[in-house]
A and B are shown apart, each in its own frame.
Chain A
């Protein structure tokens, strides 16, 4: 994740209370837990899908939608129920039973379905085994949404729709696509799933590892959609990061997903999310790692990240996520920029480049090299990047080179690079940032010049 990020404040609502006792203190109007409807959506749609079958996915969604509509109709008058999540589940089940009886489409399966729906009424809703079944249903849905037969970007949209309860319009806003385009993608994806007869189950045996990798890639992609500056409005992007964390956490807590690489990915997400509040200043300008106010990094998220990072240290598999998490951990562990352990970061990049020798990774490694061995070494490293030509349209290449030249006081060279970067940058904040750099180099603002381990501004 070497790209720049943009966000102001972080709304932390990672913890989705599954069952909530809302006996509000007297005099206070009870509020519904933030995003409750959205977070319950995935669980409920998965539950109903397990009963109706994957080809009745649309029916499951309609029923949950109706249950939420009923909440809208009645809660304002009668207040928030003591256990809002259970209420919504009960209502959606009742609506499902009504549907089965009324529509008579299930014929001989009708009795079976009704008994499945009537099972676990309110009291036993809290039984641990029932909770496990619900989790299993959600996990099954996760594997369905991330099935290899569905194109990767469509997987992200599908996960957002079914698991996270986003509407096509909301997804469009998040991914910078039109609502119509998203709706089309979703329809096609669902159709593929239906016609391929994908079973509603968690893969087992040999198949599991590869399928799990697929799920992780999609969750990583989802996080990145929220992390990068070029997608959607800021608050929406933060939501995406939170949803990615929520889903990955859920996966990590389940026996199927409780393995090192999942913890590594989760740690990576948490470390990066922790720094979201400080990535831009109040004017929306990008702040480099060096400039970020570390006192505003979210400590609980970092601790949580460290916890999962240590969980990931089990076993002997080192995934790409492990290394990226390690690099992020180095930054998060440093109390200030100057004490960043660049030597450690460099050795991590050395490891990463063996797994993934893409030019972007190599570029990030070059920055680490510059911080450890000096700017000249950094420039050399960039020149030596394999497939360097692939970076020709990548603005960060020029931004990094511009930085290097500026450190060496080669003003004209620096200006040249920043100008080129400016031409290629995508977003307003990136351009603002580069324009500032260009101006500074043109004015010949002298940068402080240390020797080894100098604080070269890393693109955070």
Chain B
């Protein structure tokens, strides 16, 4: 059986071409910075975001059966990379999407990927404990 959880976690992944802010004027850059700051702060105060970080553009990609391939990537010049993330703590997918729609970067081509963080199992820990008790 599955039990509805009252809150869940979603990951917002901010996808953009590495160049998206290159075309903005200093004034626009500041406006987006202010907006993004206010957005993140507001969500933090409401307890809706539990973590968030920017991701530096440089990185490596490890692949191969034994992890023998380590190459540079992804490249910022490539079509889309993930520039940062928010880990949301919200009631529903709808709420996560509503928050994603507020992203100030959208106006400049940023895309926000909304992914539910998969539950550990279909029962939440505390509910599982109660169940275990009742079966004891």
The total of Cβ contacts below 8 Å across the A-B interface reads 72
Known pairs A31-B34, A72-B21, A72-B33; A77 contacts B40 (CB<8 A) = yes
Closest Cβ of chain A: how far from B48's Cβ, in Å? 15
A71, closest chain B residue (CB): B33
Q: Are B22 and A73 in contact (CB under 8 A)?
A: no
Q: Within residues 1 to 60 of chain B, which ones have a CB less than 8 A from any CB in chain A?
A: 21-22, 24-30, 32-34, 36-41, 52-54
Contact of B74 with A by CB under 8 A: no
Task: Give CA–CA (A434, B105) in the complex, Å.
Answer: 45
Q: Are A76 and B36 in contact (CB under 8 A)?
A: yes
Q: What residue of chain A has the Cβ atom nearest to residue B38's Cβ?
A: A29
**Beta-carbon contact of A38 and B27 below 8 Å:** yes
Which candidate, A105-113, A164-172, A187-195, A412-420, is the interface stretch facing chain B?
A164-172
- Beta-carbon contact of A38 and B30 below 8 Å: yes
- The answer to whether B29 and A68 touch across the interface, beta carbons within 8 angstroms, is yes
| Chain A residue contacts of B26, Cβ below 8 A | 37-38, 40-41, 65, 68, 165, 167
- Whether the Cβ atoms of A65 and B22 lie closer than 8 Å is yes
B84 at the interface (CB under 8 A from A): yes
**Set of chain A residues within 8 Å of B28, measured between Cβ atoms:** 167
* Docked pose: A71 CA to B54 CA in angstroms: 11
Chain A interface size, under 10 / 10 to 19 / 20 to 34 / 35 or more: 20 to 34
Interface size on B, residues (CB 8 A): 23
**Beta-carbon contacts of A63-107 to B below 8 Å, as 1s and 0s?**
001101101111111011000000000000000000000000000
In whole Å, how far is A178's beta carbon from the nearest beta carbon of chain B?
16
Q: Which residue of A lies closest to B45 (CB)?
A: A29
A10 lies within 8 A of chain B by Cβ: no
A75 with B27, Cβ < 8 A, contacts A69-B21, A69-B22 known: no
CB distance from B55 to the nearest CB of A (A): 9
User: Is the C-beta of A353 less than 8 angstroms from some C-beta in chain B?
Assistant: no
Q: Is the CB of A76 within 8 A of B37?
A: yes
Return chain B residues, CB-CB under 8 Å to A77: 40, 52-54, 84
B54-82 contact mask (Cβ, 8 Å, vs A): 1 or 0:
10000000000000000000000000000
Asked if B83 lies at the interface with its beta carbon under 8 angstroms from chain A, I say: yes
Residues of chain A contacted by B30 (CB below 8 angstroms): 32, 35-38, 68
Residues in A whose Cβ lies below 8 Å from that of B27: 35, 37-38, 165-167, 170
Beta-carbon contact of A32 and B34 below 8 Å: yes
Within the complex, the shortest CB–CB distance from A179 to chain B, in Å, comes to 11
Min Cβ gap B108→A in Å is 10
In the complex, the answer to whether A29 meets B41 with C-beta atoms within 8 Å is yes
In the complex formed, the residue of A with least CB distance to B104 is A76
Query: Taking the nearest CB of chain A, how far is it from the CB of B84, in angstroms?
Result: 7
Is there contact, CB below 8 Å, between A76 and B39? yes
Q: Which residue of B lies closest to A69 (CB)?
A: B21
CA distance A220 to B41 in the complex (A): 43
Q: Does A75 contact B52, Cβ atoms closer than 8 Å?
A: no
How near does chain A come to B14, taking the closest CB pair, in angstroms?
10
- Chain A residues 35-62 with CB under 8 Å of chain B are 35-38, 40-41
Considering only CB atoms, which chain A residue lies closest to B53 in the complex?
Answer: A77
Most chain B CB within 10 A, of A31, A68, A69, A72, is at: A72
Q: Is B84 a contact of A166 with CB atoms below 8 Å? A: no
Partner of A73, one of B34, B38, B83: B83
**Of A74, A76, A170, which one neighbours B25 at CB under 8 angstroms?**
A170
- Cα A35 to Cα B54 in complex, Å, equals 24
User: Separation in Å of the B113 CB from the closest CB of chain A?
Assistant: 18
User: Which chain B positions have C-beta within 8 A of A37?
Assistant: 26-27, 29-30, 33
CA gap between A358 and B29 in the complex, in Å: 44
Query: Once the chains are docked, how many angstroms separate the CA of A331 from the CA of B37?
Result: 45
Residues of A within 8 A of B22 (CB): 65-66, 69
Which A residues are in CB contact (< 8 Å) with B21? 69, 72-73
Residue of A at shortest CB range from B18? Answer: A69
B37 contacts A29, C-beta separation under 8 Å? yes
- Complex Cα distance, B36 from A255, in Å, reads 41
User: Using Cβ atoms and an 8 Å threshold, which residues of chain A touch B39?
Assistant: 76
Q: Which residues of B contact A80 (CB under 8 A)?
A: 37
Nearest-neighbour CB distance to chain B for A37, whole angstroms, equals 4
In the complex, per-residue mask of B79-112: 1 if CB is within 8 Å of any chain A CB, else 0: 0000110000000000000000000000000000
A167 to B24, CA, bound (A): 8
Taken together as a complex, chains A and B put the C-alpha atoms of A41 and B84 apart, in Å, by 26
Of chain B, the residue at the smallest CB distance from A65 is: B22
> A165–B37 contact, CB under 8 A?
no
Known: A37-B26, A37-B29, A170-B27. A73 touches B84 (CB 8 A): yes
- On B, residues with C-beta under 8 Å from A are 21-22, 24-30, 32-34, 36-41, 52-54, 83-84
15 contacts between A and B (CB under 8 A): A29-B38, A32-B34, A32-B37, A38-B26, A38-B30, A41-B26, A68-B26, A69-B22, A69-B24, A72-B21, A73-B21, A73-B84, A74-B54, A77-B52, A165-B27
**What 9 pairs between A and B have smallest CB-CB spacing?**
A167-B25, A76-B36, A37-B30, A37-B26, A165-B26, A69-B21, A76-B37, A38-B26, A72-B33
- Given A29-B37, A32-B30, A40-B26, 19 more pairs with CB closer than 8 A: A29-B41, A32-B34, A35-B30, A37-B26, A37-B27, A38-B30, A65-B22, A65-B26, A68-B30, A69-B22, A69-B24, A69-B29, A72-B36, A73-B21, A76-B40, A166-B27, A169-B25, A170-B25, A170-B27
